[in-house]
Amino acid sequence: MTPFRTVAGVFAAIQTVKAGAAGFCTNFFPDGQKLQDWVERNELHGESCAGALFLFRRDHDFSRLYFCAASPAALRAGIATLAGLRNERIVVDLVGKESAPGEIFLALEAAGFRRYQQLCRMARPGQSALQAAGGAELPVTLAGHADVPAILALLEGAFDRYAEQLPLTAEIENAVASGQIFVVRLEGVLAGLLFFETQGVTSILRYWLVAEAFRARHVGAALMRHYLATQSTVRRFLLWVIASNDNAVQKYRRYGFVPDGLVDHVLASEPIYNENHR
C-alpha cells in the first residue's frame, strides 16, 4: 500500500478511476479539512487496481476502508485482489437510502465483510419549537483544553468505536478550540457533553452524552436546550444514531428530530465481527 502525502495525490488517484468510466460508485465523501488532517497525520494509504481505488484510513486499532470504483463489478474484482483482507481489522461504511444497498453490499460480503451495525440519520428544522423541559437551571459552558482527557474518556467509554466514528485527541482539541463542545460540570467533574459541528446553516450533532453517575438530573436536557438555542442561524440540524438504540432515538424525537431516510450500513471484517458477536 502507498501512503498519500498530499490531498492532491488523493484526488489524482480518484481521477484515474473516474477517467473514461461510464459510472462511478464510492463510499468516500471526505470533508476537505478532514482529508487534509488524515494526510498530515499519515493515516491514509491507498492501493489501486484496474477500475478501482481502495483507501485505508487508520482509526484507533483498526482501519476504515473507502473505495472508488467504475462499477460494482469493478469493485468486486478489485477487492478480491487485496491480499490478507479477511484477517485485518477493517470497517466499511455504506451510506444510502433505507433500501438494501444491493450490488455494492454483495461485493463487500463476497470479500468477507458482514453486517455489523446500522445507523440512521435524523434531521430537525432550525426553527422548531422546543417542548422538552428541565435542565434550565444547570450551567452549560464551552469545554476548555483541560477537559480534553475527560471528554475522550467519556466518549470512548460510551460509544462503539467501530460504528460511531470516535474522534482522536487532536480532533477533540480542535473542536474545543473552535467552541464546538458544550459541557456541564457537577461536583467538580464533567457530568455531560454535547459535541457539534456547525457550518453555515447546517449543524451536525456528533455526540450527546451524560456520564452514568449524573443521569436523571436533566444534564442532557440542559445541554440540548443550550445547543439548540445558541445555533440561531442554523436551518437544519442533523445527527447519526444507531438505529436499534430505541432509547436514544426516542430522546432525539422529543427534541424534534425525525429520521430523514438516510442510513449508514456499517460492515466489519470477520475479526471485528467475531469479537463483538460471540
Partner 1 sequence: MKTIADILKEIRPEFDFTTSTDFKADGMLDSFDMVTLVATLDKTYGISISGADIVPENFQNLETIAALLRKNGVQP
Total residues at interface with partner 1 (CB under 8 A): 23
Using the rule CB under 8 A, which residue among 48, 202, 230, 245 binds partner 1? 202
- Cα Rg, the chain, nearest whole Å: 20
Among 99, 133, 200, 212, binds partner 1 (CB under 8 A): 200
Among 142, 153, 201, 229, binds partner 1 (CB under 8 A): 201
Should residue 259 be labelled a site residue for partner 1 when binding is judged by CB under 8 A?
no
Q: Which residues of 209-241 are buried (b: 16+ CB within 10 A; e: fewer)?
A: bbbeebeebbbbbbbbbbbbebbeebeebbbbb
**In the complex with partner 1, which residue's Cβ is closer, 27 or 117?**
27
Nearest distance from residue 15's CB to partner 1, in Å?
7
Contact between 224 and 194 under an 8 Å Cβ cutoff? The reply is yes
Exactly one of 21, 73, 85, 248 binds partner 1 (CB under 8 A); that residue is: 21
In the set 1, 6, 23, 128, which binds partner 1 (CB under 8 A)? 23
DSSP state letter for 162: T
CA-based nearest residue to 224, from 162, 118, 140, 142: 140
- Counting contacts by CB under 8 A, is residue 70 touching partner 1? yes
Q: Which is nearer to partner 1, 152 or 204 (CB)?
A: 204
Determine which residue in the list 87, 141, 169, 199 makes contact with partner 1, applying CB under 8 A: 199
H helical segments located in the chain: 7-18, 32-40, 72-79, 103-110, 148-158, 169-177, 219-230, 246-254, 270-276
Per DSSP, 159 falls in state S
Please, what is the minimum distance in Å from the beta carbon of residue 128 to partner 1? 11
- 275 is written with which cell numbers? 469479537
HSE-up of 72 (CA within 13 Å, CB side)? 11
Cβ 236 to partner 1, closest distance in Å?
6
The separation between the first and the last C-alpha atoms of the chain, rounded to the nearest angstrom, is: 31
Distance CA 180, CA 172 (A): 9
Q: By C-beta, is 65 or 221 nearer to partner 1?
A: 65
- Please choose, out of 21-29, 44-52, 54-62, 214-222, the segment that lies near partner 1 by the rule CB under 8 A: 21-29
Binding residues vs partner 1 (CB under 8 A): 15, 17-19, 21-24, 29, 70, 95, 125-126, 198-203, 234-236, 262
